[in-house]
Structure 1
Amino acid sequence: MQNKQGMNGFQIKITGLISMVFDHIGEFFSFPIIFHWIGRLAAPIFLFESSEGFIHTRNRKKYMLRLLYGFWLMGIIDFVLSRYFSIGDTIVVNNIFGTLFLGTVYMTAISYFKGDRVQRSIVRGIAWFMVPILLGIGSLDLINIVGSNEIFLQLVLGWNILVPNILLVEGGFLLVALAVLFYIFHGNKMAQIASLFVVAAFSLIGKDFGQLFGNNYQWMMILAALPILWYNGEKGKNMRNFFYIFYPAHIIVLAVLAYYLH
């Protein structure tokens, strides 16, 4: 059977991984800003692929749990790296798993809204939609309440390691929303790409337009429109666990190298 033209899911993921490595090299070693420009492709690609994975997986519960386990693991790794391998006052906060997990939570909520008569459940959909928001607001309120109480503050921070906070996950609310939009417009590439451009535009609100090629480069996520446009719908090589291993491994290697080479 002849493969379709374009890029399959595996090739798009590899593109995202390469982009991500550039971004993190720039982060840990203070390389030129172009490394971060290239890195803007990564998150939209992973969010797009997570929506595809959520739709096509045989077991959505296991899929979501893998992302949650990844979030917990990276939370621990970030804590250890920040405590023992940080440079100056910097902390390591790389954890895309939380964003991907919350994206699937809201995909689940929408699936309850748009399901058939048997599967539809408005109450469950609302519950899945509201719980992450309430938990996020609640944890921030707790931080304000405990103030400078070190013990309670550590407990709240520990809670945020266990429970992804929609206000604190990597990329925040905007990237979670992008994942959901990719899911809603599955099969409609033009609508998905339009969603990407809209989210990129929202990322510029309140920013200095004179720094579009300086520090305000988040809008460059629109570059991910190209691999999404070229996606041919095929899965490609099955390397499901590779990303779950590579992501924490490369963060550890880069953080430790940066620490000892500083």
Structure 2
Amino acid sequence: MDDSVPNTSPISSSVLKWIAIFTMMIDHIGAVLIEPLLYNPSSSVVGGTVNWQTIYTSSRLIGRLAFPIFCFLIVEGYVHTRSVSKYAFRLGLFALLSEIPFDLAFSGQVFDWSTQNVFFTLLLGLLAIWAYDTLTLPLLRIGLPIVMALFALVFQTDYQIYGVVFIFILFVTRSNRLKQTILGAIYGFAQITASLAFIPIYYYNGKKGRGNSKWLYWFYPVHLLILAGVASFIFSS
């Protein structure tokens, strides 16, 4: 961590998680509940003075802040975890548990093999930095992260190669917060407002903060199930 970052900042990993969760939820509300309205103008919900296009666009732009923070937290989790294998197992488990809720929310199907949820991307990113950090043979040290990125592309995980590379960039620059912030923000321009996530990331104080983070894993599939249920009720009536 760059010594120029004050450790008196109130932004702990817990605060970052709340920011990521809140912006992610806004993004998913826009994608699951508002976007369909734009393609169904005859719906009784549409009408009046509400500009659904503006609301939808705003929700997606706000939502772009979530992923860079999750990527940053994966790096922090890797650095501080007592067992990377258990960390990877937990991500893999929730990737599997979240797939049906993800498919129901975004495609209305129980199984949709065209795209996979973000937990798979975070897992592949974790495995990429794990290989890079622990292996000594250059071919494997560089080759395996590339393989992880290609897996993300082939299996169409959320954010695909972009997501795995994002985690890798934040990992290799982790010793200098200013460099990490600048490079992360530049890379985040591909997602427009994603670069704004590096304002709170820069002021991260390196502390865990209050609260048990394990519930975060459950929040992802549960909120997607709720959104899928709400969408089914609205658009099937």
Code of the residue aligned with 1:20 in structure 2: it is M
3-state secondary structure, aligned to 1:6: coil
Map 1:3-22 onto structure 2 (within 5 A).
Answer: 4-22=8-26
Given that 2:108 and 2:228 are in contact with CA atoms closer than 8 Å, whether structure 1 keeps it comes out as no
For 2:33, the aligned partner's letter is F
Q: 1:167 to 1:63 in 2, by over 3 A?
A: same
**Which of 51, 58, 70 is 2:75 aligned to?**
51
Aligned to 2:133: 111
Q: CA deviation at 1:166?
A: 5.9
Number of residue pairs matched?
208
What is residue 191 of structure 1 aligned with on the other side? 179
**1:258 has 2:231 as partner:** yes
1:21 positional shift: 0.7
Q: 1:147-202 CA deviation, whole Å, 9 max, x = no partner?
A: xxxxxxxxxxxxxxxxx55661111211211111111111311111122223234x
Normalised to the residue count of structure 2, the TM-score between the two structures is 0.78
Kept in 2, the 8 Å contact 1:9–1:231? The answer is yes
Contact kept in structure 2, 1:112 and 1:124, CA below 8 Å? no
Q: Is the 8 A contact 1:19 1:38 kept in 2?
A: yes
Structure 1, 125-134 or 99-108: larger mean CA deviation: 125-134
Residue 248 (structure 1) aligns with: 221
SS in 2 for 1:73: helix
Q: What is the letter of the counterpart of residue 227 of structure 2?
A: L
Could you tell me the percent identity over the aligned residues? 28
TM-score, normalising length: structure 1 = 0.71
User: Within the alignment, does 1:125 sit opposite 2:98 as a pair?
Assistant: no
Q: Which of 123, 139, 143 is the aligned partner of 1:101?
A: 123
Partner of 2:210: 237
SS at match of 2:59: helix
Could you tell me which amino acid in structure 1 is paired with residue 226 of structure 2? V
Amino acid at match of 1:222: S
1:83, CA displacement in angstroms?
5.0
Which amino acid in 2 is paired with 1:180?
A: F
Deviations 1:28-81 (A, max 9, x none): 121511111111110000000110001100000000111111111222333455
Unaligned runs of 5+ in 1: 114-119, 137-163, 204-217
1:120-199 correspondence to structure 2 within 5 Å: 120-122=136-138, 124-126=140-142, 128-132=144-148, 136=151, 165=153, 168-199=156-187
